[in-house]
């Protein structure tokens, strides 16, 4: 059987492309494309009576739904794993929309997830006329730690002149964003106070703001964020996902400034075990997204970061990279910061000075699995990997 082969179709756009190669009738695209894309969606903590309705409706449409064994007769709740083509989901959503409010809300969530999994072009507006156009390329964020105790560069940029020179070097190497950090967040480090952090960061931001590059400031503090934005920063990279300083959100909302919301069980919620790793992280990120929206920040100004290394062990970090596509359910750009981190060292049995190749592998995997921004120390090498991986991701067929 020469030439027979399986085809893996990721989304409706790919489905339409493969159908076009068969030269089908134009009218057939609308009803064939949804049948070519298979999705699994996990619903969390659904009351058993509603879970049973969802299961029966999905089965009746030709799809499948898994619930816990006792749910048919049980009170309480169950997780539900839905399995089917987009066509199955379209029929399910239509049926659930004719049911009580609780089921209509679930239908809306299912539709939102399905929509978020399709390729989309998001243009994020930054201060002072700059934009980021996601869906065409991966952005490389160069790390610039202006602290005396950085885990990977050993404080060599704890000097404004050296820091400025390094920023310009990274820009020349292809960095799209420079992320400036003035307070170390690594484990066991002594975090700088607010005044000290500002003294390290603000003068550098003012100098770099004269250059044609996007500036991010790695801070969870409202006062540092406010002064950084006034000095010329475009993005706030918050390791606390709006939880470590409740004054940060009003600052972001006032300026409608893009924010990176990083999941973190190192600086807070430390020691709380994960019940369902990906679901727990998505839930906590959703809480911050909703808090941001309620506080006046446009969701289109948010970027999510699963927080590799921040309260996760090696196996959990690897699982997050493997399942990164699950985070596309949230419909927001995804940032991955794995550069030189200890889990890479554990896998490769390499110290911090010998983790470039491991970082490059993570960069490629992350882009293939949906990352939009890669935060790295070694810009030149990662730019090349990103360009090559982007060429694969955005290739036709």
Number of separate helices (H) and strands (E) present in the chain: 14, 13
Give the sign of the dihedral formed by CA 107, CA 108, CA 113, CA 116: positive
Please confirm, yes or no, whether 375 is among the known catalytic residues: yes
- Pick from 102, 88, 90, 109: nearest CA to 53: 102
Cα distance between the two ends of the chain: 22
Average pLDDT (189-215) is: 92
Please confirm, yes or no, whether 186 is among the known catalytic residues: no
Q: What are phi and psi of 43, to 5 degrees?
A: -100, 140
Contact 142, 170 (CB under 8 A): yes
Q: How many CB atoms lie within 10 A of CB 205?
A: 23
The model carries a pTM of 0.94
pLDDT in tens, 47-91: 999 999 999 999 999 999 999 998 888 789 999 999 999 999 999
Q: Does the structure show a pLDDT above 90 at 366?
A: yes
Contact 92, 58 (CB under 8 A): yes
Say what the pLDDT of residue 270 is.
74
Domain boundary assignment for the chain: 12-117, 122-393
**CATH superfamily label, 122-393:** Dihydropteroate synthase-like (3.20.20.20)
In whole angstroms, give the CA distance from residue 214 to residue 126: 9
Say what the pLDDT of residue 48 is.
96
- The residues, ordered by sequence, that sit 6+ positions from 155 with a Cβ below 8 Å of its Cβ are 145, 147, 148, 149
pLDDT in tens, 222-245: 999 999 999 999 999 999 999 999
Length of the chain: 397
Average pLDDT (327-349) is: 98
Q: Is 92 helix (H, G, I), strand (E, B) or coil?
A: helix
Contact 164, 202 (CB under 8 A): no
More confident residue, 132 or 121: 132
In whole angstroms, give the CA distance from residue 382 to residue 361: 9
Q: Of 87, 226, 312, 341, which one is the catalytic site residue? A: 341
Pick the CATH number of 12-117 from 3.30.310, 1.10.1060, 1.10.10, 3.30.1370: 3.30.1370
Tokens read off for 391: 């060429």
Strand partners, 66: 81
Say what the pLDDT of residue 155 is.
55
In whole angstroms, give the CA distance from residue 10 to residue 37: 7
């Amino acid at each position: 059987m020469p030439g027979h082969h399986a085809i893996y179709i990721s989304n409706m756009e790919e489905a339409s492309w493969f159908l076009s190669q068969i030269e089908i009738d134009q009218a057939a695209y609308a009803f064939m494309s949804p049948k070519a894309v298979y999705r699994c969606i996990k619903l969390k903590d659904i009351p058993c009576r509603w879970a049973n309705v969802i299961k029966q409706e999905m089965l009746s449409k030709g799809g499948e739904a898994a619930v816990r064994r006792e749910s048919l007769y049980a009170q309480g709740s169950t997780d539900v794993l839905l399995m089917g083509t987009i066509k199955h989901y379209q029929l399910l959503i239509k049926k659930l929309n004719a049911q009580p409010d609780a089921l209509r809300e679930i239908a809306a969530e299912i539709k939102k997830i399905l929509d978020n999994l399709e390729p989309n072009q998001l243009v994020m507006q930054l201060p002072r006329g700059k934009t980021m156009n996601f869906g065409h390329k991966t952005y490389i964020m160069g790390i610039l730690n202006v602290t005396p105790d950085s885990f990977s560069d050993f404080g060599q940029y704890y000097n404004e002149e050296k820091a400025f020179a390094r920023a310009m070097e990274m820009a020349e190497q292809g960095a799209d964003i420079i992320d400036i950090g003035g307070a170390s967040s690594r484990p066991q480090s002594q975090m700088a106070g607010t005044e000290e952090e500002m003294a390290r960061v603000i003068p550098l931001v003012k100098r770099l703001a004269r250059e044609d590059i996007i500036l991010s400031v790695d801070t969870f503090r409202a006062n540092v964020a406010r002064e950084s934005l006034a000095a010329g920063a475009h993005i706030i990279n918050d390791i606390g996902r709006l939880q470590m300083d409740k004054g940060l959100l009003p600052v972001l909302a006032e300026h409608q400034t893009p924010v990176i919301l990083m999941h973190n069980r190192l600086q807070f919620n430390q020691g709380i075990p994960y019940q369902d790793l990906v679901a727990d992280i998505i839930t906590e990120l959703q809480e911050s997204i909703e808090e941001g929206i309620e506080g006046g920040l446009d969701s289109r100004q948010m970027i999510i970061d699963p927080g590799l290394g921040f309260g996760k062990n090696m196996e959990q970090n690897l699982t997050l990279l493997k399942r990164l596509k699950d985070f596309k359910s949230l419909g927001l750009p995804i940032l991955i910061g794995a550069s030189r981190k200890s889990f890479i060292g554990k896998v490769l049995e390499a110290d911090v000075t010998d983790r470039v190749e491991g970082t490059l592998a993570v960069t490629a995997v992350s882009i293939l699995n949906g990352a939009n921004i890669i935060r790295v120390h070694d810009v030149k090498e990662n730019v090349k990997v990103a360009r090559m991986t982007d060429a694969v991701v955005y290739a036709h067929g």
